[in-house]
Each structure stands twice: as C-alpha cells, then as structure tokens.
C-alpha cells in the first residue's frame, strides 16, 4: 500500500490535536490494524491542549508518557493524571 501526502492530508481531523494529527493517526490505525500501543509526548502542556496523544489515551488502548518542563503546566498535567485512571500510577 502506498501512502501519499494528499491522502494523509485528507484524513486530518482534530479531536485534541492542533493540525489534524488525530485523524491521520486514526486512519493509519485502521489501515494497519493497530489496536493499542505506547506513546511519548514532549511538551505535553496540560495533557489535553493541542495534544497529539490524549486521543490515544482517552479513546484508544494506548498508554504512555507525557513530559512537561514548565512547572505550572506540569501541575495541570498532574491534575489530569489524578482524574484519568488510564494514566496508572507511574
């Protein structure tokens, strides 16, 4: 199967992402039969705003690591973790 840029761009859709990454991921999961996985997001902010991974955590069987260096944003990320059982106790 050939994946061309036009096809991928046509699948863009924002659920939590900013530039359509959520839709592209979901398209790739469908054509490659991906049901679960692991992610790592650097600069996670609060874990939701503009996130390329929150949809994976919330709506798919993914787990992973969200990293945020800004102390204030990290506190927001900790708050999300406390409200989201799928984050686990890492």
> 86: exposed, middle or buried (C-beta count within 10 Å: 0-12, 13-18, 19+)?
exposed
Q: Report the number of distinct structural domains present in the chain.
A: 1
| Half-sphere exposure of residue 37: CA atoms within 13 angstroms, side-chain side | 15
Domain that holds residue 10: 5-87
Residues 22-27, mean pLDDT to the nearest whole number: 97
Task: Summarize pLDDT for 26-71 with one digit per residue, the tens.
Answer: 999 999 999 999 999 999 999 999 999 999 999 999 989 999 999 9
pLDDT band at 87 (very low <50, low <70, confident <90, very high): low
């Amino acid at each position: 199967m050939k994946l061309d840029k036009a096809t991928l761009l046509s699948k863009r859709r924002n659920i939590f992402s900013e530039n359509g990454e959520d839709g592209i991921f979901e398209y790739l999961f469908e054509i490659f039969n991906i049901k679960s996985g692991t992610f790592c997001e650097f600069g996670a902010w609060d874990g939701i705003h503009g996130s390329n991974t929150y949809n994976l955590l919330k709506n798919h069987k993914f787990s992973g690591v969200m990293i945020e260096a800004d102390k204030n944003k990290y506190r927001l990320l900790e708050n999300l973790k406390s409200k989201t059982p799928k984050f686990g106790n890492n």
